[in-house]
Amino acid sequence: MRESTLLLQIAQASAAGFLGRPDVLVGPGDDCAVIAAPGGSTLLLTTDQFIEGVHYARGRSTESIAASAIARSISDIAAMGGAPLYALATAALTKDTHQQHATDLFEAMAACAQGWNCPLIGGDIAITDGQTILTVTAIGAPHATRGPVLRNGAKPGDRVYVTGPLGAALASNWTRTPEPRLDTARRLCEALGDNLHAMIDISDGLGRDAGRIAERSGIAIALEADSIPLAKGIASWREAIAAGEDYELCFTSSTAPPDELGCIAVGIVVEGEGCRAITPDGESFDAHESGWDHRA
């Protein structure tokens, strides 16, 4: 069972619910859903799980677990070019959890969320036999003038960029706390406006996530293998484009981003389908399948 296949099926299962609901501007299948809520607010909504033994190893510090759980959902808001507003968090904790640990965990999540200007406004807690599972829902607002940046707007002729070196999470053996690129995303919205065509956060590796832009936009992406910026400790572009949990952003644009944002051009958008990595000597590899997809 592959999670990506299931997520696609979820999206299809949900689509029937939107008939006659023009207030659902974007449903499942992007980084966030986008709604035009009664009363006038346009909002971004996302929910994500952070699971012991799947997304992190047992023994990691409470602060680091809390920070990562919050950052995953905040990063989905960044991927739309938005600003986070509110968070809700649940925890399923094991029976051997000490009360102090549970309190510390929620205090740490509340502090992290607050650090993103996104107060924790609700939650739930339960005791289970299994591993620790944290679920964070984030609500945000799209950029006031650019609006939400979706995955489906890439156009042939765009350049493909990333916001920083890739593989830092892998190089840290997934102990590094991701830093959602909220500020960069906002500045990209302001500088590029409607020329910022598509954006996604790199949670499953550039190959897979750029492939998602390609699939949703109905175009192809060619990554230039020797342009991929490698995080310290990463030896090859192959490692870099397959590495998940980085939470850098990948975007396509018809104009270049301002130099001071430090974005790196890594490829181009062309007609066709799929995402391939091209080496300097002309070899071509399927990059879409190189990323991280949890399997049962």
**According to CB under 8 A, which residues from 85 to 104 bind a copy of itself?**
85-86, 88-90, 92, 95-99, 102-103
Given the structure tokens 């910026």, which residue do they identify? 229
In the complex with a copy of itself, the residue whose CB is nearer, 4 or 227, is 4
Contacts of 13 (CB under 8 A, 6+ apart): none
46, two tokens: 């996302």
Strand order in the sheet with 83-94: 24-26, 33-36, 42-51, 133-141, 83-94, 120-128
Tell me how far, at minimum, the Cβ of 291 lies from a copy of itself, in Å.
Answer: 16
Does 110 help bind a copy of itself (rule: CB under 8 A)? yes
The CA distance from 242 to 108, in Å, is 30
Does 152 help bind a copy of itself (rule: CB under 8 A)? no
What residues between 9 and 28 interact with a copy of itself by CB under 8 A? 9-10, 13-14, 16-18, 21, 23-24, 27-28
Does 137 help bind a copy of itself (rule: CB under 8 A)? yes
What residues between 166 and 205 interact with a copy of itself by CB under 8 A? none
Contacts of 124 (CB under 8 A, 6+ apart): 90, 91
Does 147 help bind a copy of itself (rule: CB under 8 A)? no
Q: Which stretch binds a copy of itself (CB under 8 A): 125-133, 187-195, 223-231, 269-277?
A: 125-133
Tell me how far, at minimum, the Cβ of 105 lies from a copy of itself, in Å.
Answer: 9
Does 35 help bind a copy of itself (rule: CB under 8 A)? yes
Contacts of 88 (CB under 8 A, 6+ apart): 120, 121, 122, 123, 136, 137
Instruction: Give the residue from 225, 223, 226, 242 showing the smallest Cα distance to 166.
Output: 242
Cβ atoms of residues 37 and 43 within 8 Å:
yes
Tell me how far, at minimum, the Cβ of 153 lies from a copy of itself, in Å.
Answer: 19
The 3-state DSSP class for residue 248 equals coil
In the stretch 41-80, what mask flags binding to a copy of itself with x, by CB under 8 A?
Answer: xxx-xxxxx-x-xxx-------------------------
In the complex with a copy of itself, the residue whose CB is nearer, 17 or 156, is 17
In the complex with a copy of itself, the residue whose CB is nearer, 208 or 276, is 208
Tell me how far, at minimum, the Cβ of 37 lies from a copy of itself, in Å.
Answer: 4
In the complex with a copy of itself, the residue whose CB is nearer, 47 or 254, is 47
136, two tokens: 């964070």
Tell me how far, at minimum, the Cβ of 69 lies from a copy of itself, in Å.
Answer: 12
Of these, 60, 62, 63, 123, which contacts a copy of itself (CB under 8 A)?
123
Contacts of 161 (CB under 8 A, 6+ apart): 250, 251, 252, 253, 257, 263, 264, 265, 266
Cβ atoms of residues 154 and 217 within 8 Å:
yes
The count of chain residues that interact with a copy of itself, using the rule CB under 8 A, is 75
